[in-house]
Amino acid sequence: MIKFIDKAEIHLKAGDGGHGCIAFLREKFRAQGGPCGGDGGKGGSIILQVDSQLTTLQDVSYKRHCKAERGQHGLGKNMNGKSGKDFILYIPAGTIVKNAETEQVIVDMTEEGEIFTVCKGGNGGFGNARFKTKNQTAPRIANDGQQGESLTIHLELKVMADVGLLGFPNAGKSTLISAISNAKPKIADYPFTTLAPNLGIIKYGDYSSFVMADIPGLIKGAAEGKGLGSHFLRHIERTRVLVFLIDGASENINEQYEILRKELERHDPELNNRPSLLLITKLDSTMDELLDDQKLPLIDTIRVSSVSRLNLDKAVIKISQLLEA
């Protein structure tokens, strides 16, 4: 079973360069051959590469230490050492790479196949053949290879999604995303069923689609660490549209909506500036007339049912319009 791991710390060490060689030609009929020491090979580098097949840092988290090959030393007869192999570390799209010591962002990798050299291998040292001059015909000096770079990094995954799905625990988010997309999250009639973000691809029109992220349910105080949603709030930071889900049986829908908004603002005020939509869910068990008596938020609102599929197509069309606006 794949665990959803969105943070990891890894120590990286690029390969050292090989040393240059001190050697002289020793051939028949050439008593005093010239210098022939070859150069050392270049050390391998540590390269990060985005792999779209990965959705979590689980595999990466097991690699606490990553080391590239060192370059081979130079040899006589002007033979250069072989360069060390690069070490390629595959990571999911949406991974932010930080310097573990300073927490400064080194790179934010979001594109499939994107490559970034995070630690460069050391250059190989020069052999003594490089130091031959008119005045120095038999140099007995060579360079040591340079040390490869080393660095401890923090990896932080923020999922790549167009739409963020928000609501309280057991509001029906997982049921909704399973009804309108290819996602198959765990669904049960108790709070905090969702323990990790679920991504679903929603298709609309002939060839269009968008990705929706369902994060664990939020509760009041989530931005300060309460509940499960606080840990996953960063996974909606890349989204362009926010969809709020509130149970139609709630006594005060407007109050619940305001709580969700305030939790977003505490986490990142910019999130409240994004286009948004309110879906009132579970209408199978709620009398429509009861909603008419409530004061609803001043936001585009659609009443839906994931079970009977009431207004689901309408909701998808509205979300696509917000994305295209």
Residues 282, 145: one domain? no
Q: What integer pLDDT is reported at residue 289 of this predicted model?
A: 54
Domain boundary among 157, 174, 203: 157
Give the lowest-confidence range in 102-111, 152-161, 183-192, 214-223.
Answer: 183-192
Contact 227, 261 (CB under 8 A): no
Q: What integer pLDDT is reported at residue 218 of this predicted model?
A: 76
Q: What integer pLDDT is reported at residue 85 of this predicted model?
A: 98
Residues 260, 313: one domain? yes
Provide the CA 146 distance to its chain's centre, in angstroms. Answer: 32
Domain boundary among 132, 157, 182: 157
Contact 305, 311 (CB under 8 A): yes
Q: What integer pLDDT is reported at residue 225 of this predicted model?
A: 55
Residues 147, 167: one domain? no
Cα–Cα distance, 284 to 308 (Å, whole number) = 7
What is the CB-side half-sphere exposure of residue 33 using CA atoms within 13 A?
A: 17
The parent domain of residue 111 ranges over: 1-157
**Which residues does 146 contact at the CB level (< 8 Å), separation at least 6?**
16, 17, 43, 122, 123, 124, 125
Query: pLDDT confidence of 186, banded at 50, 70, 90?
Result: very low
**3-class secondary structure, 13:** strand
Q: What integer pLDDT is reported at residue 33 of this predicted model?
A: 78
**More confident site: 170 or 260:** 260
Cα–Cα distance, 310 to 306 (Å, whole number) = 7
Residues 34, 81: one domain? yes
Query: Could you read off the pLDDT of 109-132 as tens digits, one per residue?
Result: 999 999 999 999 999 999 999 999
State the SS3 of 166-230: EECCCCCHHHHHHHHCCCCCCCCCCCCCCCCCEEEEEEECCCEEEEEEECCCCCCCHHHCCCCHH
For the cut 80, the answer to whether the pLDDT of residue 306 exceeds it is yes
Q: How many domains in the chain?
A: 2
Which domain CATH number covers 236?
Answer: 3.40.50.300
Query: pLDDT confidence of 92, banded at 50, 70, 90?
Result: very high
Query: pLDDT confidence of 49, banded at 50, 70, 90?
Result: very high
Domain boundary among 97, 128, 157: 157
For the cut 80, the answer to whether the pLDDT of residue 290 exceeds it is no
Residues 69, 179: one domain? no
User: Could you tell me the two tokens for 215?
Assistant: 């994060």
